C-alpha cells in the first residue's frame, strides 16, 4: 500500500504558510484535554471500555459533525507501524505517550494536519490545533470549536468546582495547554537566554527544549507553555502566554539587530560556514545538524542567505529526525547510517536551491 | 529569600516534604537544585511532572481535625498510595474520593482550587446559571448605588427567574 501523505511528507500543509512573526515563532499550538463522564481514564480502563471510548469518539467524526474540517482521516494506532508512529511524533501530530502505549488509541486528522485529535492518550480526548507562526488566539478558537462539536455528542467529566476533570492534576480545570515553539539564537549567542527563561518560569510558564534528548534545547528551539490550568480562564491563560511570548519575540529581534550592527562580519561568517558545511558534509550527527540549521535560519531572517527560504528549513527540521530518515532511506539504520543519510539528505536538499 | 544551599542566589524553587511525620521545607535556586539532582521543570535533568507530583502528594493535611480521606476510589479502585506514586487519577470520581487531600495539592500546582473557565453547555448548565446570577447581582448592586432603581428592579426579577429555574 502506498504510504499516505501524513507519514510520507515531512511538512504538514499548515507549515507552508508563513505565519505572523515567523522569523521567531515557528508554530503555535493549543491542546485541550477532555474525558467522558463515568468512564475510567485510559490508565485504569479495561480493553472493552477503552474500545467503547474509542468507538464513541470516532463516532463523532463518523457522524459528519466534523465536516467543516474537510476530508478527515481516522487512524487507529494499531494500523500503523512503529516507524509510522515515530514519524507522526516527529511531526507533532501525536504524542510519544500515544505512540508507545496505543491500545485502543486513535487519531483524527484534518486534511491540513492543523487539527489532530488524539483518543485514549492520557485522557480520553485530546484536541490539538497547530498553526504556523505566532497565532495562539487563532489556535484556541479553532480548538474550542472542535471541543464544542464533541460536547454536543459526549457527556464530559466536569465538576463545578474543579472544572474539566483530567487524569493528571496538572491539567484539571480548563484542560488547556497552549504553547509556542520559538527560535531564539540571538538570545543564546548574546548570553541573555538564561535570564529570560528564568523570568518566564517565574510568571507561571514552563520552557522546554525541542527535539532534544530529554528536554535539552537543541538548535536554539524552545517551547514555552502555560503550567497553570486551574483558577484562570482560557482567555487569561492565553493572554498571559501571548504577552510573555510577545516580549520574548521583541527581545530576540532586538538582539538580532544588535548582532547585525555590532558584529555583522562574524555573524555572516558563522552563517556562511554553516551553510558551507551543510552543503558539503558527508557525516552529520543530529546535534550538529540542528545547530547548523539554526545558524542558517538566523541567516535567512537577517537577509544574509537570500538563496534559502524558510520552507526548506521547516522541512529539514522534520525530515532529518530519525523516524523520517528511516522512512526515506530504509528501516533499521545504525546511528552511523543515520548520520550519513542525514548529511546526504541535507546536501541534496540544499543543492536544489543554490 | 536566599537559596539555602549556596546562600548567594535567590531561591526560586520551594519544596515541602514530609519525612517521618516531620515537615521539612527546602528553598533553593535552580543551579543548586540541578547539582543536588533535584528535578526541575523545563531543564535537562530528566524531570517528569509525575516525579514532582509524587513529592508534593506526600503533603499531609496540617489540620488534625480534618476528616480522614478515603484511601481508595470506590469506582475505579485506585488507592491514594497508588495515586501519589504515579501522580495520575484513575477516574473522575477519584477527585471526589480524594477531595480532602486534593486542595493543598492543587493550590501548590496551580495556586488555585476553583475552576473559572469554560463550562460545557449541557453538563455545566447549572454552573453557567449560577455565574450569571452572580454577575447580575453585582450589576444590580451597582444600579442601586447609582439610584437607577428601575433597572435594578428588572435585574432583581431576572435573578428570581434564574433562581427558580435552578431550583425547579
Ligand atoms: Zn543556590
Ligand atoms: Zn477513581
- Are B53 and B87 contained in the same domain? yes
Cβ within 8 Å of residue A202, ≥6 positions away: B12
Q: Could you tell me the end-to-end alpha-carbon distance of chain A, in angstroms, rounded to an integer? A: 35
| Euclidean distance between CA atoms A165 and B96, whole angstroms | 11
Asked whether residue B24 falls in the same domain as residue B75, the answer is no
**Angstrom distance (rounded) from CA B98 to CA B146:** 46
Please write the tens of the pLDDT for every residue from A5-26: 888 888 888 888 789 999 999 9
B63 found inside a domain: no
Residue B130 lies in a domain: yes
| More confident: A351 or A274 | A274
| Residue A226: C-alpha distances to residues A124, A205, B44 (Å) | 21, 5, 18
Whether residue B73 is found in the same domain as residue B113: yes
Residue B159 in domain: yes
Kindly list the residues from chain B whose CB atom is less than 8 angstroms away from the CB atom of residue A160. 115, 124, 126-127, 130
Nearest-by-CA chain B residue for A228: B110
B23 and B75 co-located in one domain: no
In this structure, what C-alpha cell is assigned to residue B13?
524553587
User: Backbone phi, then psi, for A139, in 5-degree steps?
Assistant: -65, -40
For range A115-128, the mean pLDDT: 96
Residue A84 has pLDDT above 90, yes or no: yes
Tell me: the pLDDT tens digits for A305-334? 998 988 899 999 889 988 889 988 887 788
- The average pLDDT across A176-201 equals 91
Number of domains in chain B: 3
Encode B50-79: b = buried (16+ Cβ within 10 Å), e = exposed: eebbebbbebeeeeeeeeeebebbebbebb
Position A1 scores a pLDDT of: 42
Whether B64 maps to a domain, the answer reads: no
Which stretches of A263-330 are DSSP H helices? 264-280, 286-301, 310-319, 322-329
Q: Which residues of B touch A155 (CB under 8 A)?
A: 122-123
Read off φ and ψ for residue A2, nearest 5 degrees.
-65, 140
In a domain, B94, yes or no: yes
Among B30, B87, B123, beta carbon nearest to A155:
B123
Res B123: pLDDT:
65
**pLDDT at position A335:** 87
Q: Kindly identify the ligand whose nearest atom is closest to the C-alpha of B73.
A: 2
Q: Are residues B74 and B102 in the same domain?
A: yes
CA distance B143 to chain A (A): 27
- Shared-domain flag, residues B110 and B131: no
Q: Which helix (H) or strand (E) holds B40?
A: none
Q: How far is CA A322 from CA A330, B141, B155, in A?
A: 11, 63, 63
A41, A174, A197 member nearest B91 (Cβ): A41
What 8-state DSSP symbol labels residue B11?
A: P
SS3 A227: coil
In a domain, B76, yes or no: yes
Q: Report pLDDT for A7.
A: 87
Q: Which residues of A touch B30 (CB under 8 A)?
A: 198
What is the average pLDDT across B143-162?
89
> Is residue B29 situated within a structural domain?
yes
A163 neighbors A222 (Cβ within 8 angstroms): no
For residue A227, what pLDDT band results from cuts at 50, 70 and 90?
very high
Mean model confidence pLDDT for chain A: 91
**Helix extents (H) in A157-285:** 185-189, 193-202, 234-262, 264-280
Say yes or no: B100 and B136 in one domain: no
Q: What residue numbers bound the domain in which B148 lies?
A: 123-166
Q: Are both B28 and B53 inside the same structural domain?
A: no
Spell out which residues of chain B touch residue A231, defining contact as CB-CB under 8 Å.
110-116
Query: Percent of chain A, pLDDT > 70?
Result: 96
Q: Which H, E and C letters describe B91-126, residue by residue? A: CCHHHHHCHHHHHHHHHHHHCCCCCCCCCCCCCCHH
Angle, nearest 10°, between helix axes A47-62 and A136-153? Answer: 110
CB contact under 8 A, A215 and B47: yes
> Where does the pLDDT of residue A128 fall: very low under 50, low under 70, confident under 90, or very high at 90 and above?
very high
* Residues B13 and B34 reside in one and the same domain: yes
Cross-strand partners of A31: A128, A177
Q: Hey, is the C-beta of B37 within 8 angstroms of any chain A C-beta? A: no
Is there a domain that residue B86 lies in? yes
Q: Are residues B156 and B102 in the same domain?
A: no
- For residues B74 and B33, membership in a common domain is answered with no
B15 alpha carbon – ligand 1 mean position (Å): 14
Give chain B's count of helices (H) and strands (E): 7, 2
Q: Which three cell numbers stand for residue A279?
A: 552543503
All residues of chain B having their beta carbon less than 8 Å from the beta carbon of residue A176 are 117
C-alpha dist (Å) from residue B23 to A319, B36, B56, B69, B116? 50, 20, 12, 20, 32
Could you give the angle at which helices B99-110 and B49-57 cross, rounded to 10 degrees? 130
Nearest CA to A293 among A328, A342, A251, A225?
Answer: A342
Rounded to a whole number, what is the distance in Å from the CA of B44 to chain A's nearest CA?
5
How close is the Cα of A190 to the center of ligand 1, in Å?
A: 24
Q: Does the pLDDT of residue A224 top 50, yes or no?
A: yes
Per-residue pLDDT at B20 = 45
Name the average pLDDT for chain B: 74
Give the model confidence (pLDDT) of B56-109 as tens digits: 555 444 444 445 555 789 889 999 888 988 899 999 999 999 888 888 889 988
| Cα of A41 vs its chain's centroid, Å | 25
* C-alpha grid cell, residue A61: 467524526
Structure confidence at residue B54 as a pLDDT band (50, 70, 90): low
pLDDT at B42: 36
Distance CA A289, CA A219 (A): 8
Higher pLDDT, B165 or B19: B165
Backbone angles phi, psi at A285, to 5 degrees: -80, 170
Residue in A166, A208, A234 closest to B118 by CB:
A234
Residues for chain A: how many in total? 354
Residues B112 and B129 in one domain: no
What tens digit of pLDDT does each residue of B1-13 get?
Answer: 777 778 877 776 6
Per-residue model confidence (pLDDT) at position A254: 96
What's the pLDDT at A351? Answer: 85
Q: Which residues share a beta bridge with A248?
A: none
**How far apart are the CA of B76 and the centre of ligand 2, in A?**
4
Amino acid at each position: 500500500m502506498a504510504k499516505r501523505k501524513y507519514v510520507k511528507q515531512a511538512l504538514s500543509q499548515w507549515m507552508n504558510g508563513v505565519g505572523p512573526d515567523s522569523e521567531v515563532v515557528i508554530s503555535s499550538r493549543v491542546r485541550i484535554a477532555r474525558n467522558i463522564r463515568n468512564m475510567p481514564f485510559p490508565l485504569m480502563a479495561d480493553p472493552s471500555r477503552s474500545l467503547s471510548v474509542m468507538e464513541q469518539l470516532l463516532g463523532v467524526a463518523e457522524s459528519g459533525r466534523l465536516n467543516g474540517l474537510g476530508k478527515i482521516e481516522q487512524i487507529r494506532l494499531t494500523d500503523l507501524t512503529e516507524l509510522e508512529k515515530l514519524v507522526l511524533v516527529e511531526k507533532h501530530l501525536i504524542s510519544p505517550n500515544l505512540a508507545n502505549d496505543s491500545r485502543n488509541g486513535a487519531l483524527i486528522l484534518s486534511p491540513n494536519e492543523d487539527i489532530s485529535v488524539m483518543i485514549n492518550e492520557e485522557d480520553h480526548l485530546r484536541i490539538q490545533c497547530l498553526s504556523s507562526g505566532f497565532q495562539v488566539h487563532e489556535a484556541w478558537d479553532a480548538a474550542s470549536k472542535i471541543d464544542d462539536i464533541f460536547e454536543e455528542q459526549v457527556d464530559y467529566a466536569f465538576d463545578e468546582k474543579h472544572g474539566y476533570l483530567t487524569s493528571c492534576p496538572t491539567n484539571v480545570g480548563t484542560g488547556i495547554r497552549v504553547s509556542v515553539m520559538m527560535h531564539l539564537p540571538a538570545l543564546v549567542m548574546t548570553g541573555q537566554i538564561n535570564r529570560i527563561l528564568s523570568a518566564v518560569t517565574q510568571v507561571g510558564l514552563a520552557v522546554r527544549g525541542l527535539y532534544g534528548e530529554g528536554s535539552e534545547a537543541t538548535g536554539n528551539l524552545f517551547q514555552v507553555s502555560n503550567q497553570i490550568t486551574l483558577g484562570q480562564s482560557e482567555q487569561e491563560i492565553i493572554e498571559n502566554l501571548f504577552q510573555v511570548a510577545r516580549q520574548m519575540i521583541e527581545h530576540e529581534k532586538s538582539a538580532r539587530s544588535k548582532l547585525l550592527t555590532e558584529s555583522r562580519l562574524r555573524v555572516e561568517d558563522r552563517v556562511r560556514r554553516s551553510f558551507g558545511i551543510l552543503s558539503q558534509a558527508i557525516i552529520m550527527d543530529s546535534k550538529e545538524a540542528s545547530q547548523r540549521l539554526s545558524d542558517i535560519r538566523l541567516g535567512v531572517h537577517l537577509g544574509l542567505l537570500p538563496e534559502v527560504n524558510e520552507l526548506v528549513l521547516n522541512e529539514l527540521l522534520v525530515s532529518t529526525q530519525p523516524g523520517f530518515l528511516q522512512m526515506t532511506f530504509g528501516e533499521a539504520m545504525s546511528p552511523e547510517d543515520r548520520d550519513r543519510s542525514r548529511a546526504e539528505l541535507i546536501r541534496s536538499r540544499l543543492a536544489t536551491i543554490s | 529569600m536566599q537559596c539555602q544551599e549556596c546562600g548567594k542566589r535567590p531561591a526560586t524553587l520551594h519544596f515541602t516534604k514530609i519525612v517521618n511525620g516531620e515537615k521539612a521545607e527546602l528553598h533553593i535556586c535552580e543551579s543548586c537544585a540541578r547539582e543536588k539532582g533535584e528535578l526541575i521543570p523545563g531543564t535537562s535533568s530528566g524531570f517528569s511532572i509525575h516525579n514532582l507530583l509524587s513529592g508534593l502528594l506526600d503533603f499531609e493535611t496540617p489540620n488534625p481535625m480534618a476528616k480522614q480521606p478515603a484511601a481508595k476510589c470506590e469506582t475505579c479502585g485506585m488507592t491514594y498510595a497508588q495515586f501519589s506514586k504515579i501522580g495520575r487519577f484513575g477516574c473522575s470520581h477519584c477527585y471526589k474520593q480524594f477531595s480532602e487531600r486534593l486542595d493543598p495539592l492543587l493550590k501548590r500546582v496551580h495556586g488555585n482550587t476553583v475552576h473559572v473557565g469554560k463550562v460545557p453547555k449541557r453538563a455545566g448548565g447549572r454552573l453557567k446559571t449560577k455565574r450569571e446570577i452572580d454577575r447580575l447581582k453585582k450589576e444590580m448592586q451597582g444600579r442601586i448605588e447609582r439610584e437607577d432603581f428601575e433597572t435594578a428592579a428588572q435585574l432583581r426579577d431576572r435573578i428570581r427567574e434564574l433562581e427558580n429555574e435552578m431550583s425547579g
